[in-house]
Structure 1
Amino acid sequence: MVEQSLWMQKVAADPGHSQWYIERFREMEREGRDLSGEARLIDAMAPRGARILDAGCGPGRVGGYLAAAGHDVVGVDVDPALIAAAEQDHPGPRWLVGDLAELDLPARGLGEPFDVIVSAGNVMTFLAPSTRGRVLARLRAHLGPGGRAVIGFGAGRDYPHEEFLADAAQAGLVPDLLLSTWDLRPFTEDSDFLVAVLRHV
């Protein structure tokens, strides 16, 4: 059995955690905050009408933007409350409850490979540590030829960036580009955030 994600451990400890997270982003949207920076980067990278997987989609802000831009989007998250919010706030994409460590979309009738996979919002750091390599391997398995995965998360979250890149390489994903922000600033050894654009070997 796959170890429970750190996110779902938080939810078990505080049943109101998911709703707090949902409302936090709804409030930020009402305030006019820019919540689409990650999605704009993905849209710029993707061919028009691309198949995009939003891995760890949360309440749907990234996948919702990309669907509105004309892409074929599937969003997957382990938390049913976040998927319900995505369905309510961002109709259009296919939103699915699922554990990324067991991701098998062909078994769910969604067998075509993806042009781009995006995992924003520190998703990698909310995984159970024992499943990180497995998740990266499952993402790689869902990429089509020439496809890329874009994964972003902050430092200081118990997953050093060099360890992540080693896990990605072990899973068959190598860097095309390493950035320190979603607005294209270069990654350096002092960066406190990583946006890794990875391709499969």
Structure 2
Amino acid sequence: MTGQHDRWADLTGGQAGEEYARRFAKLAASGQDVHGEAAFCTTLLNPGARVLDAGCGTGRIAIRLAELGHHCTGVDVDASMLAVARRDAPTQEWLLGDLTRLDTLGLKPGYDLALAAGNVIPLLAPGTEPGVVRQLTAALRPGGLLVTGMGLDAAHLPLPEAPLTLPDFDGWCTRAGLVLDQRYATWSGDPYQPGCGYAVSVHVRPAM
């Protein structure tokens, strides 16, 4: 997320790390698959790919991607979430930082995939969304992918209404130099239909 009064901080006060981790631990213990995002991304990647998990939270996805052989960097502005990630995977790279200022974190560009799952884009600070998309695009290599998952209505968001539409998001991506490649309704790859309450999008930074 970002540090500019983002919607996530307004919802949680920046103290949600342990609670968030417990929720997913309960889901996993009940037999639910909590690795759908990582499985989806792996189908798009060559072995040993570089992945930037933007708004990584407790590191659930980045840790799983690392287990699958990829090289992952996680970035989040919520220190309580990163504390869980660092505890669970102390040898991985976790950076405390604002997604609007990725270029100040010393990241080496050329990522194969940048991921913004878990409603990262809708929960950004209002007005910062286009800038974050530009920052994520700049982190990619030519041919690299931006993968996002986001709710489009109140039923799929921790908000009373969606703060953006898919045309809004696609417009920001287009202006950043990205091209829409794939879109689904779930991380399992169910077809997207207009009016779906959730969208998983794959945008590509065209190769030069």
Question: TM-score, structure 1 length as denominator?
Answer: 0.91
Picking from 148, 169, 189, the partner of 1:184 is 189
Inter-partner Cα distance in structure 1 for 2:31 and 2:175 = 41
In structure 2, the partner of 1:85 is 84
Identical columns (%): 37
Q: 2:136 aligns with which of 129, 134, 139?
A: 139
The whole-number CA distance in structure 2 between the counterparts of 1:124 and 1:195 is: 12
Q: Which runs of 4+ in 1 moved over 6 A?
A: none
Note the 1:1-201 alignment, pairs <5 A: 3-12=4-13, 16-104=15-103, 107-156=104-153, 157-201=162-206
- Counterparts in 2 of 1:7 and 1:167: CA distance versus 1, 3 Å: same
How many angstroms does 1:137 deviate by? Answer: 0.2
Task: State the shift of 1:29 in Å.
Answer: 2.4
TM-fit CA distance, 1:108: 4.0
| Contact kept in structure 1, 2:7 and 2:123, CA below 8 Å | yes
Where does the alignment leave 5 or more consecutive residues of structure 2 unmatched? Answer: 154-161
Count of aligned pairs between the two proteins: 196
2:43 is paired with a residue of what secondary structure? Answer: helix
- Following superposition, the deviation at residue 43 of structure 1 comes to 0.9
- Quote how far apart the aligned CAs of 1:167 are: 1.6
Query: What CA distance in whole angstroms lies between the structure 1 residues aligned with 2:48 and 2:62?
Result: 13
- Higher helix share goes to which structure? 1
Query: Distance in 1 between the 2:84 and 2:94 partners?
Result: 10
Q: Distance in 1 between matches of 2:17 and 2:57?
A: 9
**Equivalents in 2 of 1:78, 1:27: separation in Å?**
25
What SS does the corresponding residue of 2:127 show, helix, strand or coil? helix
Distance 1:198 1:51 in 2: 16
The normalised TM-score by structure 2 is 0.88
SS in 1 for 2:113: strand
